Structure 1
Amino acid sequence: MMSAPASGAGERGEPGRTRPGALRPAALAIRVAWVASVAILLALGVWQVERRAWKLDLIDRVERRAHAEPVPAPGPAAWPAINRSDDEYRRVTISGRFLNDRETLVQAVTVAGPGYWVVTPLQTADGTMLVNRGFVPAERREPATRTAGNPDGAVTISGLLRISEPGGGFLRHNDPAGNRWYSRDVAAIAVARGLSGVAPFFVDADARPNPGGFPVGGLTVIAFPNNHLVYALTWFTLALMLAGAGLQRLRRPRRDAGASAAQDTEWDHRQQDMRS
């Protein structure tokens, strides 16, 4: 009695062929990683869109503060609540007397060239506030070269409230002992100059001319980088490219499987013809 011919992969001498429609663990892991990567890229794109909305709102708020009518600078009771998000670049006025003998020169690069910010304590009725009176070139570094611009009596200053810049500048740290300053670090300057009761912020003086022409105020640069749209488009483009590449790769095995199924059908037909 003849046995029926074996069917399937063994008949064609192809042991170990994966059952049609089944995914090997490695292939499944690749698909999971692909889907996760596309999802992450899309999430990064959405995050950048949200960041852009936040940045545009911040720019709008700062612009409104900087161009509003000036208000009296916050007093000591409000100092603990001062923060960058709500208060920086607010237009304020302060009145008092400059302590010219305790000024600090902070290295600066401005549209007028390299030089120094002249940061001078202003003694007020409520305490002391540091005022960035403006820019002087290197040849005006010494106070004796700009005596006309150092008033002795009571003054009223209008300018922008700024948050302290602790530490120093890019790759350079403040050196109080050597009197080398690269940022307007309120706390460190206060300690170095023996000041107490100092506000945790400083004020950038406006462009009102000083006697003798120096320091030059009103050089505050208000600029916020806003590249979030570019970043969002980059992430979305990468997600689209990765999704397209993955879908193309997924369609290829289907075409291969279709060709293999056609070959299997043809083989079966030949086997049936041989038995008939």
Structure 2
Amino acid sequence: MARSYFLALVGGLGLVALLSLGIWQLQRLDWKEGVLATITARINETPIALPDAPTPKEDAYRAVTLTGALMPEELHVYWVTSDQGPGYRVISPFVTDQGRRVLLDRGFVTAKAKLDSRSVGAAAVTGNLLWPDEVDSLTPAPDSVGNIWYARDVEAMAAKLGTQPVLIVARDVNMAHAVNSITPLPVSTQNIPNNHLQYAITWFLLALVWAAMTGLFLLRSRKGASAQQLKS
């Protein structure tokens, strides 16, 4: 009998823990959906002039518009797209009409177009402010000889190109004479993970299996105890 009580206690505690984890993931799902909705709304809102001192907390994903001139310097960030395969994001300085020098993510070029000449000069840009979280301890250092970066490191790129540490990801770039156009890769929520529903289902399935196993063990324990009583 004591063994049955112990199994029931362990089984009950384990079931509560697994169900709690599943419920927590559902709460996280609700939170993440709210975050994604907020980001989507900010991405698609009417563009405003570039703020004087944008910050990640206040201005991440904010839609902006600016006019000025694209500079010829480029940094190439290794990137892979589903439709065009491997290539590079092109990051260039952009000097606004007010004289501010910022970073512009112009978009994607294929690997074979890496060294092609591209349009520079007067341009009107619509895009979104972004502070990418792409650098970690496993990110390789940039290849300065080949001009290949492996993440959009805003601070390091700004230092390299002599700009403010402000990155605008282009949605649309209008120029009088566009040569060797670049495919824009606008900011979206597509690559922001939201796997909480799958995690919740996993925890609830584990809870179901745990409950079934606990019930089976209790049933076998009771049968064993009854058989022992009959023998005695």
252-261 or 111-120: bigger deviation: 252-261
TM-superposed deviation, 1:114:
2.4
CA contact (8 A) 1:91 1:158 kept: yes
Shift of 1:187: 0.8
Pairwise CA distance, 1:45: 0.5
- The question of 1:107 aligning with 2:75 is answered no
Trace 1:152-171 onto structure 2 (pairs within 5 A). Answer: 153=122, 155-165=123-133, 167=135
Amino acid at match of 2:206: L
Instruction: Write out aligned runs for 1:37-48 (5 A).
Output: 37-48=14-25
**1:180-229 Cα distance to aligned partner (Å, 9 max, x none):** 21111111112223x15x13x41111144651241222454531333322
In structure 2, runs of 5+ residues without a counterpart are: none
Structure 1 residues 108, 260: CA separation in 2 closer, same or farther (over 3 Å shift)?
A: closer
TM alignment of 1:63-102, pairs within 5 A: 63-76=40-53, 78-79=54-55, 82-83=56-57, 87-100=59-72, 102=73
SS at match of 1:212: coil
Other-structure match for 2:219? 251
User: Is the CA contact 2:43–2:187 (under 8 Å) kept in the aligned structure 1?
Assistant: no
Displacement of 1:136 in angstroms is 2.2
Give the deviation of 1:31 after TM superposition. Answer: 4.7
Quote the Cα distance in structure 2 between the aligned partners of 1:97 and 1:171.
35
For each residue in 1:126-151, what CA deviation from the matched residue of structure 2 results, as whole angstroms up to 9, or x when unmatched? 743210112223343235x33xx211
Match of 2:106 in 1: 133
2:157 is the alignment partner of 1:173? no
Unaligned runs of 5+ in 1: 1-20, 265-276
Q: Give the counterpart letter for 2:120 in structure 1.
A: N
Instruction: Give the secondary-structure state (helix, strand or coil) at the position aligned to 2:12.
Output: helix
Deviation for aligned residue 1:120: 0.9
Q: For residue 115 of structure 2, what is the amino acid of its counterpart?
A: E
- In the alignment, does 2:150 pair up with 1:182? yes
Question: Deviation per CA, 1:23-48, whole angstroms, max 9, x where unpaired?
Answer: 26xx7665544333222211211111
The answer on whether the counterparts of 2:77 and 2:88 sit within 8 Å (CA) in structure 1 is yes
- Output one character per residue of 1:45-73: Cα deviation in whole Å (capped at 9) or x when no partner: 11111121122112222221222111222
For residues 130 and 199 of structure 2, the distance between their equivalents in structure 1, rounded to whole angstroms, comes to: 29
Kept in 1, the 8 Å contact 2:7–2:217? The answer is: no
Residue 34 of structure 1: aligned partner: 11
Percent sequence identity is 30
More divergent stretch after superposition (134-143 vs 236-245):
134-143
Equivalent residue, structure 1, for 2:182:
215
| CA distance 1:221–1:64, change in 2 (3 Å) | closer
TM-score, normalised to structure 2, is 0.81
| TM-align CA RMSD | 2.9
The letter of the residue matching 1:70 is P
SS class of match (2:45): coil
Q: Secondary structure at the match of 2:130?
A: strand
Distance across 2 between alignment mates of 1:232 and 1:184 = 33
Matching of residue 230 in structure 1 with residue 203 in structure 2: no
Q: Which amino acid aligns with 2:85?
A: G
Rg comparison, structure with higher value: 1
Q: Contact (CA 8 Å) 1:121, 1:131: kept in 2 or not?
A: yes
